[in-house]
Structures are given as structure tokens and as C-alpha cells.
Amino acid sequence: MDEHRIAPRRRLLKSGKISFGGAVIDCTVRNLSETGAALEVSSPVGIPECFTLVIEADHIHVPC
């Protein structure tokens, strides 16, 4: 299978948080690159279009 992404993604299995407007939703970060991420959540309901992805273990705060 050919890879067509702009930036290569690296596989992860880290605990993360989707942070927005004072609220936080727990997630699992499956992979990450400079241009995107694959997040797993129990339900996507209530997640806004814009948020901050926080991976505390790595001190990462990424606006999404």
C-alpha cells in the first residue's frame, strides 16, 4: 500500500487529552506526525472542530 501523507506518522500508544474551553476528554493517541494524529475516544460526541491535544507524559500541547 502506498503512503500519501505529507509527513510520516510515528506509531504511539500514549494517553492523551482533548482540551477545549475548560473541558477535557480522555483519548488514546495511536499515531502522530507534524500534520496529524490518530486519536481514539470512547465517543466523538461533543468534541469541537478546534481543540488542544495534550500528551502530558511528553509535555506536548498541540493546537488542532
- Over 60: is that where the pLDDT of 62 sits? yes
Contacts of 46 (CB under 8 A, 6+ apart): 25
- Over 80: is that where the pLDDT of 37 sits? yes
Distance CA 39, CA 27 (A): 6
Residue 3 within any structural domain of the chain: no
Tell me the DSSP string of 9-59.
-EEEEEEEEEEETTEEEEEEEEEE-SS-EEEE-S--TT--SS-EEEEGGGT
Residue 1 within any structural domain of the chain: no
Q: Identify the domain containing residue 24 by its residue range.
A: 10-63
Residue 5 within any structural domain of the chain: no
pLDDT of residue 3: 59
Residue 52 within any structural domain of the chain: yes
* pLDDT, average across residues 17-24: 97
State the total domains in the chain: 1
Residue 37 within any structural domain of the chain: yes
pLDDT of residue 5: 64
Residue 59 within any structural domain of the chain: yes
Residue 47 within any structural domain of the chain: yes
